Structure 1
């Protein structure tokens, strides 16, 4: 079940992030390193509390009353960027490949079409996260750019930051080859 996140979900969201960052299989999927895991519950609660008033979306996916995934969308605050925002999400590893990411994004897209002036959903995905890249492409996101070797891991290896976007309806002009 998908629902709007509440203050009481802050710890669960942080635990999901920690699980992804600390897992040997998924540690390279987030920008945060195992040495710098976000753990500030108060800060997470504040983000959840102010989310809707800022034009943001913060949702969770529950199974048996347990939060097992989340999606956050933050609308850019600068006037010239206000037509766009960025998303991030995480799902507990044992629940991956079950369609939860698809459902979270579908919920975001449904919500986004009702938002006044929102035209573009942006994201960055680490190039080693092939599962996420396939999901985003399947959902209609297109690659817009790539920052090569943008991420440097503790073991000295690198990954690219792949920039992707989803355009809502036909709100974006087709000038300059964009659609």
Structure 2
């Protein structure tokens, strides 16, 4: 499937293997912020070759996708949709993760990426349900997901521990696309 949209000088398109370094750079940057991802800096040590292998595996799958947003030739955000492989009873569903480079958040990039992902999922004959998990403290993301029609289906209480007295719930959300 070919996806390429030019929206307000941002290009939203299917990722390419050449995007692997930029995607990894955004991951490392967001991990270092310590606010939005499970991993902390000292445990996130993905190499460039591992990242390229991961991107390649997504691109080769009919039921997974990687979509990037770029501005002036620079990847500034991305969303990935992955399925649980080799599980027939889960083949109709998958989950996504999305990262936007700091400085580009709040500009509608996440909405563009998510809208494109949902359009892709609706056209995919296998995918019926799109899911995600989000920190309960990530209010901006939760607001976007709700605006895009996602519904909270559960919550893992105190799932993440930031320090001795600070816990965050994992909010599980979904949207049916068929």
TM normalised by structure 1 equals 0.88
Q: Kindly tell me: are residues 156 and 60 of structure 1, through their superposed partners in 2, closer, same or farther at Cα, counting changes over 3 Å?
A: same
User: Which of 86, 90, 95 is residue 104 of structure 2 equivalent to?
Assistant: 95
Could you tell me whether the CA contact under 8 Å between 1:14 and 1:38 is conserved in 2?
A: no
Range moving further from structure 2, 158-167 or 110-119: 110-119
Could you tell me whether the CA contact under 8 Å between 2:16 and 2:59 is conserved in 1?
A: no
* Alignment-derived partner of residue 67 in structure 1: 75
* Alignment-derived partner of residue 86 in structure 1: 95
User: Which of 40, 43, 61 is residue 33 of structure 1 equivalent to?
Assistant: 40
* Alignment-derived partner of residue 15 in structure 1: 25
CA distance in 2, matches of 1:83, 1:150: 26
Q: Deviations over 1:4-59 (max 9, x none)?
A: 11122111111111111212xxx221111122124322122112112143220011
Q: Which has the higher strand share?
A: 2
Q: Deviations over 1:70-129 (max 9, x none)?
A: 100002221000000000010011000100000000100111111112100010001111
Which aligned runs of 4 or more in structure 1 are off by greater than 2 angstroms? none
Q: Secondary structure at the match of 2:125?
A: coil
* Alignment-derived partner of residue 7 in structure 2: none
CA distance in 2, matches of 1:148, 1:73: 25
CA distance in 1, matches of 2:138, 2:167: 13
* Alignment-derived partner of residue 176 in structure 1: none
Structure 2 unaligned residues grouped into runs of 5+: 1-10
Range moving further from structure 2, 96-105 or 35-44: 35-44
- Give aligned pairs, total: 166
Structure 1 unaligned residues grouped into runs of 5+: 170-179
CA distance in 2, matches of 1:99, 1:16: 17
TM normalised by structure 2 equals 0.89
Q: Secondary structure at the match of 1:35?
A: helix
